[in-house]
């Protein structure tokens, strides 16, 4: 009798509105329909408003002239370039900043982490303060704070703070300093520097070998000076033995 009662309980039919499976499907269909209707209303309303205001939509603007400047660009760019090129310049600048930020932050984090374990009390405390100040604080908050401090605390460009005999200028627009301009002579200066370094290293090695082979060793600077005099004058007086 108990088995028959249990079997009859499984065969009991319930109303669709009381069936959890049916209700689940109904709720999902209703939610999807509401989201689709809201999306259709927003898209159609936006298209009607753009048409009423005579504002063109789409990506045709990418081929038009941008008409604005970009301060720093890794590729050639001018106000006459297209919006597509301006966007590409922005992407490249973002990637450059991201790569440099990853490298510098890794180096800084490693140094601060090692410094926090330093036996030097002052260095360990400075690194600990840095970690506690910047940890779990949103970067955007620090950016807003620094921007507010720089824009309010520093003067304008005409009243910029000058340092190092007028070679550095600090204002609310940033730090300005001179940079060398490219000149054809610079590559020859670099070649001369490399040749001088290589010559100095070779001269030092030659003088060191001669010092080791000499029966009465002399100081390496003395041998180097004597070799330089011999190269310049053709001969040099003998140095007294120590």
Domain coordinates of the chain in residue numbers? 14-57, 83-176, 188-233
pLDDT exceeds 60 at position 93: yes
Mean pLDDT, residues 87-110: 93
Q: Are 135 and 113 in contact (CB under 8 A)?
A: no
Q: Which of 4-13, 122-131, 228-237 is the least confident region?
A: 228-237
The per-residue pLDDT for 216 is 57
Tell me the three state secondary structure of residue 79. Answer: coil
For CA atoms 134, 140, 146, 148, give the dihedral sign.
negative
CA gyration radius for the chain? 38
Mean pLDDT, residues 129-157: 85
Phi/psi for 163 (5° steps) reads -145, 160
CA angle at residue 167 from 162 to 168, to 5 degrees?
50
CA separation for the pair 198, 96 (Å, rounded)? 34
> Which residue from 242, 241, 210 is spatially nearest to 223, judged by alpha carbons?
210
Task: Give the pLDDT band (50/70/90) at residue 196.
Answer: very high
For CA atoms 223, 226, 231, 237, give the dihedral sign.
negative
pLDDT exceeds 80 at position 18: no
pLDDT exceeds 90 at position 153: no
Mean pLDDT for the chain? Answer: 81
> Which residue from 91, 101, 87 is spatially nearest to 59, judged by alpha carbons?
87
pLDDT exceeds 70 at position 82: yes
Q: Which tops the pLDDT comparison, 109 or 219?
A: 109
């Amino acid at each position: 009798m108990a088995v028959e009662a249990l079997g009859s309980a499984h065969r009991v039919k319930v109303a669709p509105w009381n069936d959890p499976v049916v209700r689940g499907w109904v709720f999902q269909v209703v939610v999807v329909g509401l989201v689709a209707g809201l999306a259709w209303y927003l898209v159609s309303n936006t298209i009607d408003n753009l048409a009423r205001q005579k504002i063109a939509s789409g990506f045709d603007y990418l081929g038009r002239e941008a008409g604005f400047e970009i301060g720093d660009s890794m590729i050639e760019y001018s106000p006459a370039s297209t919006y597509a090129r301006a966007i590409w310049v922005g992407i490249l600048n973002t990637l450059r900043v991201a790569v440099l930020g990853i490298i510098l932050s890794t180096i800084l984090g490693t140094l601060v982490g090692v410094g926090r374990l330093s036996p030097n009390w002052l260095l360990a405390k400075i690194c600990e303060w840095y970690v506690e100040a910047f940890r779990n604080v949103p970067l955007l908050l620090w950016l807003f704070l620094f921007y507010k401090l720089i824009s309010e605390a520093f003067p304008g460009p005409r009243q910029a703070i000058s340092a190092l005999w007028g070679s550095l200028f600090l204002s609310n627009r940033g730090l300005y300093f001179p940079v060398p301009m490219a000149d054809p002579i610079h590559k020859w200066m670099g070649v001369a520097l490399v040749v001088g370094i290589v010559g100095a290293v070779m001269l030092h090695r030659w003088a060191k070998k001669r010092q080791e082979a000499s029966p009465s060793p002399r100081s390496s600077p003395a041998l180097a000076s004597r070799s330089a005099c011999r190269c310049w004058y053709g001969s040099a007086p003998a140095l007294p033995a120590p």
